[in-house]
Amino acid sequence: MKSFVVMQGETYQEERELGIIWSLQQDSGGQVPHSWLRMKEVNEGDRIFHYVKGNIVAISVAKTGCQVISKSSAMENQKHLADNSYLVELEYHELEEPLNIHSNFNEIVTLLPIKYSPFQQDGNGNPGYLYPCNEQLVIKLLELISDLNIYQIDVEQLELAIGTVRRTERNTLIPMIAEMESEVKLMIRKGRKKFRENLLALWENKCALCDIELPDLLLASPSKPWKDSTHKERIDPYNGVLLCCNHDALYSKGYIAFDGGGRLHISSSIPEEDYIIYNINPKKKISRYEENKPYFKWHKKNIFH
């Protein structure tokens, strides 16, 4: 199961009524925007968050994978679509209380990928149509949506509680959110378990920097974080280093990095006199693998500071 964010704006009402999302295959200049081409990645069962004018207003489930629809093959109510459009049929579940992205941006911003983020750093939506939504962002959006749309019964207000129960029973979001959240958390848990197991073997069950071997203190530290990685990269053992808790924190926060040769780089924000406190040595060089190089390079460019 994959998840996406679709930016609809003025097209939302019409697309909701038709139970679809759709896009052209190329623009007037013959170019293929990535956010249109991504329609081809949608499969039956995938989930889509619908963003309209600053708010997530619905979650839908794909009833079909991506189809290429011509005017001749379109149903009667789809004849207005451009020839050879990408189209996905959906089951829409509208939110009773939309989620305003800008108001909740502080909780979302750290989960946004560097590339192909649906939202800009000021909290506004990015131009384009369909964007990937990584699993960590999915969980956060579901938590925020649940807080707004799944009601808690106040036993001291029985009359209101009766209305709340009836409204909750009719809310199709509840089972869908529960199922979606369960599937995504299971996917993350399985991926991280496999990643750690493979890293332990690669790095001989000890911290690459200080040789600590106590399993409870060893963490699988990805070079390219989950939010920025493809599914393949998330479980690729070369996309990471086995580090103790101390060095993992330094690496994940960008205070240390490794170059293609495995040499340690230390952020200028750490004073030299503190190196001994953090157990870091600028002359240290780890025994990296050739496959680590592109990931180390990405980390040094995008995370290290």
C-alpha distances (whole Å) from 294 to each of 189, 226, 256, 303 are 25, 16, 16, 14
Give the CA radius of gyration of the chain. Answer: 23
Q: What is the pLDDT of residue 84?
A: 80
Whether 43 is covered by a domain: the verdict is: yes
Domain containing residue 274 = 203-302
Residue 175 lies in a domain: no
DSSP 172: T
Give the DSSP per-residue string, 66-104: -EEE-TTTS-GGGTTSPTTEEEEEEEEEEEEEEEETGGG
- Closest C-alpha among 207, 227, 223 to residue 215: 207
In the chain, the DSSP E strands lie at 3-7, 20-23, 47-52, 55-62, 67-69, 85-100, 130-132, 218-222, 240-244, 256-258, 264-266
> What's residue 150's pLDDT?
79
CA angle 138–143–147, rounded 5-degree value: 145
pTM of the model: 0.87
Q: How many domains is the chain built from?
A: 2
CATH of the domain at 37: 3.10.590
Domain final residue, candidates 97, 118, 133: 133
Of the three residues 133, 150, 172, the one that is the final residue of a domain is 133
Is residue 259 included in any domain, yes or no?
yes
Cα–Cα distances in angstroms (integers) from residue 164 to residues 151, 155, 159, 167, in the given order = 7, 11, 9, 5
Mean pLDDT, the chain cut into blocks of 10 residues (305 residues total)? 95 96 92 96 98 97 93 56 86 95 97 97 96 97 92 49 46 83 94 94 95 96 96 95 98 97 97 97 94 97 97
* Domain end call among 104, 133, 162: 133
Task: Tell whether 211 and 92 lie within a shared domain.
Answer: no
